[in-house]
């Protein structure tokens, strides 16, 4: 650190970069400043103020700008625009920007990127544009990107970086360090050195800290670990993420079908995958498909129709159960007033159990070793909370309609429905998981169907029988 | 790699360690084998077969065993038991095992651990036990652990590792490498070297790959980056995780209130935090508190009561709305049959919008720059899907009860409720977020309350007015 830098610069938090406000949102001052610079076509200001930002900060800035401002910003900055920022924005925004640029400029920019970022940007483009861009790249780079793009979406091969450091096992630590000092084509960041045989097949890996604490004359094969967690390029990214999580990996070798080293998967990509999978689970449980915030009304509406349709069917099923007892309801209207309480409380209790179950299945915390205990526990919870709320609701209903019979009937129906809800809440996701369906997607519909049907049937059926309408 | 190792061992996937079955669950064969060894007190077998496992594998094994088997396993393995495995199990299981051990043995084991793992195990113990264990540790270790434990739960200070490598800025790369070769007390794994001034204040950091590609005579201050993302020890772990995510960090310096370096936070801890926060959001949206799978019936039942209670109140609110129209229902029982459809479909549409909103708020994708657009979009989706499903339901209802009036009334009520559901689904979480409440926790109750009340009121109210019962 040179002497003329102020001491207070030493350990500044993220807020102090000044582009975010207290809520962590791009500050309106900064946005106005950049907006004005774009309007004035003040290229120099933009280059100065935007180039110094981190790629994710540029991404946030792009998302806050208007579409035409975004395109103008990228155009004005020219070669100074950091294309990695495009990996940090919504897919729709990325496509909009990339499609506004000439393919030659994209080809130029892509060469500066790590291969995983390049693939991220190229994969959404039309095959035609992809081909045109790839054709303008140097041979080795073209081959590498083609190989990554050749693997299916959401696989390790798609997410891997093809730049890595690999050395033969008979090299010494000193040789390896000298090699790294001399080679100008090292990846931008790396945390381990791979060890390969003459056929490029993976032998092992050495973490950098291991190299640094070893003497120069030690042979690489004596400090390397055998790679127990090599990731096949065709492995699903979610499965790869689970391996990272389980074994606390920072990076892992990706190998092709002949166990040749083809790339490296790094933890930052895996963090994105973990976030994405958690998001998917949450959205699915809420009855929403793979939606993005930038989707249009039509796209969003369409993605939600299937779930609403399934719910419509179960709603009519529940309605037809009510229809069985229309004569009873006509005699005692109080039943119509109270019946949504029985169904609703059951639905809530069921969705509590279901949420716990779906999450435990996703994290693999629920398995054959504890399923029996958890099922028994949920039955206990259902009976216990069923009894508590049955008493409460029974009392209120009896007082409201001045009829102890109504109180007793709703209390009994509540206990039944809360117990069935607990049972359904755990058995339905377990069953769906067993048959290979995603419990996050479908459980909710079935659980609600069960608690509605059982809730209405138990309550109205009991009332019909008790008051002698049968 | 020595010559007598078989070639096929080079790149084995995780499945091939043989302790998991195809579903990723501990295989019953392996479990039976370990169970038998525990029963026979076959210490040697256990030491051989368990010590070779990764800490997370031992964790999975412990969770699959019965409580008395777990305690016996730890006891039989003695000093060979890897205590880091305890950081991989449920809190209840960890406590059960730790409390079964004498404090002297824990003190012994804790000394072998990285400080973050040690804190993880110690933090759940009673203060008395903590003190007794800490008293048996060497001075510096005691001081370090006490400092970590002194920071509030869920802060960076609690999760940090106090072992790190720090050098002065005027050292050369060569000096730094030599220091690492000689020092026996280096942390087990590290990916960067910190740079500090004589007052132990943080000046910057150098990634290991940077050190390795620099010449020996280069000074550290010339290759270091200034640390822009130093994490205050008191920062909430979730906020720290967001910084890691945004800036793709592998590790970050943790500093005290005087900007002195006190520890390092690493990405593997951050991945756990991200998982935990995603889990919390999911559970909260499902109406479940901070529950663990190992909780008892009583604990689980209690954690779910508040949500059920709030729902009970809104259910009675909805029931009282129905009560307003009991005379109408008595005349036309079809209304009682159909009314849950209006409320239910509205509830589903509302929870779709709410799920998208809550998630976008959590990932900070929804902010003042796009809120207006998203609100308009959701209103559009509500109207569009409202119109589609109103038509469908109206037709079915009209045919079912052979009454076109009923069809028209339910269709109108549906459009109203789906539109209100969309509006409530986005405005309620936005409002809760604005006032500082957690939208994941409370949104669902309010949204359901709104869609129930509006659904019943619109449907029954319209019918009452149309059929002239007013």
Q: Do B319 and A341 contact (CB within 8 A), yes or no?
A: yes
Does the beta carbon of A384 lie under 8 angstroms from any beta carbon of chain B? Answer: yes
Does the beta carbon of B91 lie under 8 angstroms from any beta carbon of chain A? Answer: no
Residue A253: list chain B partners with CB under 8 A. Answer: 11
pLDDT at A470: 60
Whether B17 sits inside 8 A of A384 (CB atoms) is: no
Q: What is d(CA A320, CA B334) in angstroms, rounded to the nearest whole number?
A: 10
Whether B351 sits inside 8 A of A24 (CB atoms) is: no
Residues 6+ apart with CB under 8 A from A363: B275, B279
Beta strands at A192-196 and A231-232: parallel, antiparallel or unpaired: unpaired
Q: What is d(CA A159, CA A241) in angstroms, rounded to the nearest whole number?
A: 11
Residue A9: list chain B partners with CB under 8 A. Answer: 226
Residue B53: list chain A partners with CB under 8 A. Answer: none
Does the beta carbon of B287 lie under 8 angstroms from any beta carbon of chain A? Answer: yes
Residue A349: list chain B partners with CB under 8 A. Answer: 304, 308
Q: Name the strand (E) or helix (H) holding A353.
A: helix A334-362
Residues 6+ apart with CB under 8 A from A38: A46, A65, A69, A72, A73, A76
CA distance B285 to chain A (A): 9
pLDDT at B470: 60
Residues of chain B with pLDDT under 70: 1-17, 470
Whether B211 sits inside 8 A of A215 (CB atoms) is: no
Q: Which residue from A212, A287, A344 is facing B315, i.e. has the nearest CB?
A: A344
Return left, alpha or beta for A468; rule: phi > 0 is left, psi -120 to 50 is alpha, else beta: left
Q: How far is CA B311 from CA A339, B202, B269, B332, B450, in A?
A: 14, 51, 36, 28, 12
Alpha helices per DSSP H over B151-262:
156-159, 173-182, 208-212, 220-223, 237-247
**DSSP notation for B172-202:** BHHHHHHHHHH-TT--SS-SEEEEE-TT-BE
CA distance A464 to chain B (A): 15
Chain B window 251-280: which residues touch A at a Cβ cutoff of 8 Å? Answer: 253, 255, 259, 267-268, 270-271, 274-275, 278-279
Does the beta carbon of A344 lie under 8 angstroms from any beta carbon of chain B? Answer: yes
Chain B window 420-439: which residues touch A at a Cβ cutoff of 8 Å? Answer: none
Q: Do B397 and B338 contact (CB within 8 A), yes or no?
A: yes
Beta strands at A251-255 and B166-167: parallel, antiparallel or unpaired: unpaired
Number of residue pairs across A and B with CB atoms under 8 Å? 396
CA distance B448 to chain A (A): 10
Does the beta carbon of A66 lie under 8 angstroms from any beta carbon of chain B? Answer: no
Mutation site for A-interface testing, chosen from B333, B386, B464 by largest number of A Cβ within 10 Å: B333
Q: What is d(CA B183, CA B170) in angstroms, rounded to the nearest whole number?
A: 19
Q: What is d(CA A73, CA A112) in angstroms, rounded to the nearest whole number?
A: 19
CA distance B136 to chain A (A): 30
Whether A307 sits inside 8 A of B369 (CB atoms) is: no
Residue B64: list chain A partners with CB under 8 A. Answer: 367, 369
Q: Do A292 and A90 contact (CB within 8 A), yes or no?
A: yes
Q: What is d(CA A137, CA A134) in angstroms, rounded to the nearest whole number?
A: 5
Would you call B327 helix, strand, or coil by DSSP?
helix
Mutation site for B-interface testing, chosen from A203, A339, A348 by largest number of B Cβ within 10 Å: A348
Would you call A266 helix, strand, or coil by DSSP?
strand
Q: What is the DSSP letter of B251?
A: E
Q: Do A118 and A187 contact (CB within 8 A), yes or no?
A: no
Chain A window 20-59: which residues touch B at a Cβ cutoff of 8 Å? Answer: 23-26, 31, 54, 56-57
Mutation site for A-interface testing, chosen from B272, B293, B358, B446 by largest number of A Cβ within 10 Å: B293
Residues 6+ apart with CB under 8 A from B390: B410, B411, B412, B414, B415, B418
Read off the tokens for B94.
């960890």
Q: Which residue from A17, A226, A323 is facing B10, i.e. has the nearest CB?
A: A226
Residues of chain A with pLDDT under 50: 1-16
CA distance B132 to chain A (A): 31
Whether B1 sits inside 8 A of A245 (CB atoms) is: no
Q: What is d(CA B119, CA A360) in angstroms, rounded to the nearest whole number?
A: 26
Q: Which residue from B250, B285, B339 is facing A267, i.e. has the nearest CB?
A: B250
Max distance between CA atoms of chain B, in angstroms, equals: 95
Domains and CATH numbers, chain A: 16-159 (1.25.60), 166-266 (3.10.580.10), 297-466 (1.10.357.20)
Of B414, B424, B432, B429, nearest to B450 (Cα)? B424
CA distance B131 to chain A (A): 30
Whether B374 sits inside 8 A of A293 (CB atoms) is: yes
Give the torsion sign (CA, B186, B190, B192, B198).
negative
Does the beta carbon of A93 lie under 8 angstroms from any beta carbon of chain B? Answer: no
ipTM: 0.77
Q: What is d(CA B134, CA B148) in angstroms, rounded to the nearest whole number?
A: 12
Chain B window 125-144: which residues touch A at a Cβ cutoff of 8 Å? Answer: none
Q: What is the DSSP letter of A236?
A: B
Residue B363: list chain A partners with CB under 8 A. Answer: 275, 279
Mutation site for A-interface testing, chosen from B21, B199, B200, B212 by largest number of A Cβ within 10 Å: B212
Chain A window 347-376: which residues touch B at a Cβ cutoff of 8 Å? Answer: 348-349, 351-352, 354-356, 359-360, 363-370, 374
Q: What is d(CA B318, CA B333) in angstroms, rounded to the nearest whole number?
A: 18
Whether A181 sits inside 8 A of B286 (CB atoms) is: no
| Beta bridge pairs of residue A265 | A252
Residues 6+ apart with CB under 8 A from A457: A321, A324
Does the beta carbon of B411 lie under 8 angstroms from any beta carbon of chain A? Answer: no
Q: Which residue from B54, B180, B287 is facing A351, i.e. has the nearest CB?
A: B287
Go through B430-453 and write b for each residue having 16 or more CB atoms within 10 A of its CB, e for each that does not. Answer: bebbeeeebbbbbbbbbbbbbbbb
CA distance A184 to chain B (A): 9
Read off the tokens for B277.
């926060």
Q: Do A273 and A231 contact (CB within 8 A), yes or no?
A: no
């Amino acid at each position: 650190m040179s002497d003329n830098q102020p001491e207070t610069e030493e350990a500044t938090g993220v807020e102090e970069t000044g582009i975010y406000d207290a809520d962590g949102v791009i500050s309106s001052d900064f946005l106005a400043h950049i907006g004005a610079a774009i309007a004035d076509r003040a290229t120099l200001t933009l280059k100065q103020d935007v180039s110094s930002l981190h790629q994710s900060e540029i991404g946030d800035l792009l998302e806050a700008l208007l579409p035409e401002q975004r395109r103008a910003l990228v155009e004005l900055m020219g070669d100074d625009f950091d294309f990695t920022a495009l990996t940090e924005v919504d897919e729709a925004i990325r496509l909009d920007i990339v499609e506004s640029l000439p393919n030659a400029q994209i080809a130029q920019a892509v060469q500066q990127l790590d291969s995983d970022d390049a693939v991220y940007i190229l994969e959404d483009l039309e095959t035609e544009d992809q081909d045109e861009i790839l054709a303008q790249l140097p041979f080795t780079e073209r081959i590498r990107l083609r190989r990554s793009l050749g693997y299916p979406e959401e696989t390790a091969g798609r997410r891997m970086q093809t730049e890595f450091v690999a050395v033969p096992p008979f090299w010494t630590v000193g040789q390896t360090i000298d090699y790294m000092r001399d080679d100008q084509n090292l990846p931008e960041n790396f945390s381990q050195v791979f060890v390969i045989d003459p056929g490029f097949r993976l032998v092992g890996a050495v973490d950098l800290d291991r190299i640094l604490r070893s003497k120069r004359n030690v042979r690489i094969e004596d400090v390397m670990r055998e790679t127990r967690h090599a990731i096949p390029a065709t492995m699903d990214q979610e499965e790869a993420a689970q391996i990272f999580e389980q074994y606390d990996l920072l990076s892992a070798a990706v190998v092709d079908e002949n166990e040749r080293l083809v790339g490296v998967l790094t933890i930052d990509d895996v963090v994105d995958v973990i976030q994405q999978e958690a998001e998917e689970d949450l959205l699915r449980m809420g009855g929403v498909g793979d939606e993005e915030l930038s989707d249009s009304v039509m796209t969003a509406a369409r993605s939600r129709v299937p779930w609403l349709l399934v719910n419509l069917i179960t709603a009519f099923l529940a309605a037809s159960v009510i229809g069985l007892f229309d004569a009873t309801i006509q005699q005692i209207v109080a039943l119509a007033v109270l019946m949504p309480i029985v169904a609703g409380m059951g639905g809530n209790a069921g969705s509590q159990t279901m949420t716990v179950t779906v999450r435990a299945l996703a994290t693999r915390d629920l398995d054959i070793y504890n399923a029996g205990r958890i099922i028994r526990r949920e039955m206990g919870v259902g009976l216990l909370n069923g009894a508590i709320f049955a008493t409460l609701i029974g009392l209120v209903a009896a007082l409201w309609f001045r009829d102890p019979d109504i109180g007793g009937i709703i209390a009994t129906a509540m206990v039944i429905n809360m117990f069935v809800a607990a049972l359904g809440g755990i058995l339905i996701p377990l069953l769906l998981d067993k048959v290979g369906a995603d419990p996050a997607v479908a459980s909710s519909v079935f659980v609600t169907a069960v608690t509605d049907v059982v809730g209405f049937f138990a309550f109205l059926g009991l009332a019909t029988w008790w008051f002698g309408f049968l």
